[in-house]
Amino acid sequence: MTMSLLPSASVKARGSSGQYTRVEAPLMLITAKESQLTWSGQTLAAIVKDALKNIGAPVISVEMRHDESLGLYAVALLDCDAGEALKRWPEIADVARELEIPIFVAWTRGGETPPEEAGAYAGSALAKMGVFLATRGSVDVLKALREERG
């Protein structure tokens, strides 16, 4: 039995049979040197990138990151504008749910997306991935409402 003092992450990776399987890996390997975390010869970032390409996402790269409150997550850079990236995010969130790793999107070109539309896409994607919005500090809602109303 191998023991590690490093915190670990449990992620899904597609094995040679084509089925997703749980993989335990030390977070240090994921955050410090992702190339050391492989499954069937692929890094975790490559697994996420391949899964996104399989749904037709114009993915350029995937970067694995870790946050103390969110845990392990991926940021996918898409070759598109903001509007297209946000429209694709809920579909990407379906992949994220299957892999059990939240996937956030970034884009290469600007573009105007109405805030209501952007919020709807983001809300849908976050809900599908089970990611909930939180603040680091407390928020005084009554004070904010008073200031807004003048």
- Who has greater pLDDT, 27 or 45? 45
In the three-class reduction of DSSP (H, G, I as helix; E, B as strand; rest coil), residue 54 is classed as helix
All structural domains of the chain: 43-149 (3.30.300)
* pTM to 2 decimal places: 0.67
Dist CA 3 CA 53 (whole Å): 36
Q: What are the strands, taking DSSP E only, across the chain?
A: 8-14, 20-26, 38-39, 42-43, 59-67, 71-81, 103-109
pLDDT tens, position by position, 86-141: 999 999 999 999 988 999 999 998 888 888 999 999 999 999 999 887 767 787 88
pLDDT tens, position by position, 67-84: 887 888 999 999 999 999
> Sign of dihedral through CA atoms 36, 42, 44, 45?
positive
